[in-house]
Structure formats: structure tokens, C-alpha cells
Amino acid sequence: MTFPDEFVWGVSTAAYQIEGATTVDGRRPSIWDTFSARPGAVACGDTGEPAADHYRRMSEDVTLLADLGVRAYRFSIAWPRVVPDAAEVNPAGLDFYERLVDTLLQAGITPWPTLYHWDLPQALEDRGGWAERETAYRFADYVAAVLGRLGDRVGTWTTLNEPWCSAFLGYGSGRHAPGRTEPAAAVAAAHHLLLAHGLGASVIRGQARAARVGLTLNLFPVSVADPDNAGDVEVGRRIDGLQNRLFLDPVLRGGYPADVLADLEPYGLGRLLTADDLEVISVPPDLLGINYYRDLYVSSVPDARSGPPSEWVGAENAGFPRRGLPRTDSDWDINAGELTGLLLRLHETYPPVPLYLTENGAAFRDRVSADGAVSDAERIAFIADHLRAAHAAIERGVDLRGYFYWSLLDNFEWAEGYTKRFGLVHVDFATQRRTPKASASWYSQVMADNGLREHDDRAR
């Protein structure tokens, strides 16, 4: 099973999840530093210090990337390092990312920076955070500072990673930083994040005209327990609207869906719009990143295991019933086949845009054996099945141009702390020892082959 020529193979990480060094070289607190310090906010009381100590071990990690044959490295730049207090630019923060980009290029690895992966400077949150329109303009200032240093060496930029999580988990359910439970603030945050994308994309095109720019969304196919049940169908519509169309439609179609505007009218979405917001947001992206981990199977009848999910503004009566599918250590259904349908939906119902799978991965309970090896056959099967689903979409005409596994390293997994391991490389967080897992060797061969060898039993 061979992928198209020039298909991009890579891995992804995020600054707060791997860097550590949270008080080094002028970095100031982010909302995740503040949130992690709250008792009970993060599993086991973990924080982003030291994470995987990547800030100090960057050169070692780039060597690891090169040894695995990684072609492209998707990482994020920490806003609190670059503009720590939402005012003066910190040259030392930019120095680190300049060293990283140069080291990657010297190793023959293409850098794919993401400009915002959830680590808002705490100084901006103190002024209202993403619930305030001004934050979008401060994002544009930050983007200009980064482009001024790196714009001559980076050809592909991502403005935002998963704005749904930033808005609805951060300001709606409070499960993520900044930990607010204010539905109207969550809706405002969603709009202002999209505005920030548009403003940031304009800065990039103004300062690096040859560069490509896009954003990354976490998209979920939504299916209902009973298609003949009007309540189930309504819950499915609402959740698809909030999770997918709320972000896809303004970027790719130039407007919010009418039904979503109606759903969110009590929370003020329509009142947030100014005359040119949608024009700013909808400047056609050069690419769309898709993060796919699972699908959503929903019902209008909550059960004891799922409960009403408070982060779904306007869909409080949703349930997430079990289907008997295999599950990851994050308790997420594994349903790779739904990825094909998601990609086809984008291809068939939205304007053409090159697609990249910018995150796909799974946590399993990996252990280092007595001989020093980490066997993770479940992860290999997970990747292989999702690559088959992606390839099936390509065969049906989808313009999918790349795949990035999440993640290179075991890391700080947000509210789960260090309890969930997604990496191709095992990290002993006490010693920072890196141990490539069996999946690392397997994925290295996939990249070298530009596809899957169907007879390879390691894929099952």
C-alpha cells in the first residue's frame, strides 16, 4: 500500500507538553502553569515541569528524529517564551526556536511550527483571555515577532491547534486551562480564536509571502445510536455543529452555519461579529490540518458512564454510550474506519484545500521490559489501521498529503499529567532516558517505504 509521491511523513509534539524549563531564559507563566498548580486540576498533581526536558535536550531529540528517518517535525512555539508578559519580545525565547529550526534543517528535517498550542500567557488571561477580542490582536503581534526571526527558514505555518479544546474545555467545562466554567466565555473564545487565525494568517502572508499557512482542527465523525430517534438525531446535529461546523464553515465557507448560530444565540455568538470578522477569518487557507483520534457515538439518553458533558454548550443532554469496541488507555473507542468518511466529507462538501493528518495516535500502558525493550503491538495496529483508512480516502480522490503521528515522545498529557503515554519513544520522567518503542522502528520503516507492506505481520 503505497502513498503518493511527496507524501509528508512526520511526528508531532507541543511546547508545554515536552519542553519543561518553565522559568528559564525569560519564560513567564502560561495558563497551563497556573492551572497545573491548582490542587486536583491535573492527575497525580503533575505539572509541565520538567515534562520531557526537551528545552535542554533539543539536540538529542533532533538526532532521535533523524535516526528514525522522520521527514517533517510538527512542534509548537511557546508564546510565553517569545512575548512573556504580552508586551516586550524576549530574544532568548526566539533564540531557542531559531536553534531548533536550524538544527532540524541541518538534519534534513522540515520544520512545521504551530504558533498556538494552548499555552496562552497568563498575563493575557488576567485581562480576560480568549473571551476578550483584544487577545486576537495580541496574537497577531506575537506572530509578527516569530516571523521576524524565523520567516526566512520556515515554509509551512499552522496558526492554531484545536481551537475547540481551547474554547470549550478551557472556558466551558473547565477541564483544561484556564479552568473557567462560563458558557458565554467559551463561545466568545471560539470566535476570537478564529479571528486570531485570520489575523495571524494575514501577518504570515505579509512577512513570508512564499510560505503556506493553515490551521489544525480536531474533527470527529458523529453518528447516533438510533437514526430513527428524533432526539438522537437532534443531539447528533448539535454536537456536529459545535465540534466540526462551528470551525470549518467560517474558515472554508465564510460564515457560521445558521443552525449553529441559532443554537448559540443564548450565548451571544451573533453579537460578537463585527462587519469584517468573517472576511478576516475566511481568507482561504493553504492547507487544513486534521487531528483524528476517535469518532463520537451519541445518544439523547445519558448513561451512568458518560453523563451529560458540560463542555458541549447547548447539548447538555447528550450521552456517549458504549459500543463494545476496543479502547485505548484514554478510554477512547478505536474506530479507524470512520476516518475515511471524515476525509470524504471534507473532500465532497467543502471547497478544495490540501489536507494533512497532523495528529493521530493512542495511549497504551507501555512498559520497559527487563531487556530494555518496549513492545507496543497495539499502537502499531492502531497506526496501521488508520493509515489504511487514510489510503482508502486517497484512492477515492481525497487530497490528503501527509501524516504526523502523535507523539514523538511520551509527555505531559494535559489534565492526565504523565499517566498517559502516546509516544513512539518511551520517556522515563525520573531520569529522562529515551527508549524507542517497537512502534518507532515500525513507523520508521513505513516512512522509508512510503507506505505499508501488507504482508508485515507487525501491523497486526
Active site residues: 162, 359
The answer to whether the Cα torsion of 84, 78, 113, 350 is positive or negative is: negative
Share in percent of the chain as helix, strand, coil (round to 5): 45, 15, 40
Of 445, 413, 422, give the one whose Cα is nearest residue 42. Answer: 413
Which residue, 146, 247, 231, is CA-closest to 193? 247
Residue 125 CA to residue 139 CA, distance in Å, equals 13
The H-or-E segment that residue 344 falls in is: helix 338-349
- Show contacts of 447-450: CB within 8 Å, 24+ apart: 447/9, 447/68, 447/69, 447/70, 447/71, 448/69, 449/2, 450/2, 450/3, 450/5, 450/7, 450/9
Residues 105 and 111: beta-carbon distance below 8 Å: yes
Q: What is the DSSP string of 391-457?
A: HHHHHTT--EEEEEEE-SB----GGGTTS----SEEEETTTTEEEE-HHHHHHHHHHHHTB--TT-G
Residue type, 287: L
Angle at 60 between CA 28 and CA 154, to 5 degrees: 65
Strand partners, 222: 296
Quick check: helix, strand or coil at residue 13? Answer: coil
Strands 425-428 and 433-436 come out as: antiparallel
Alpha helix segments (H runs only) across 107-171? 122-125, 134-150, 163-164, 170-171
Nearest Cα to Cα of residue 277 among 115, 118, 133, 129: 133
Task: Give the chain's length.
Answer: 460
Cα separation, 111 vs 102, in Å, equals 9
Q: Return the bridge partners of 434, or none.
A: 427
Q: Rounded CA gap, 182 and 446, in Å?
A: 45
CA distance linking residue 238 with residue 241, whole number of Å: 5
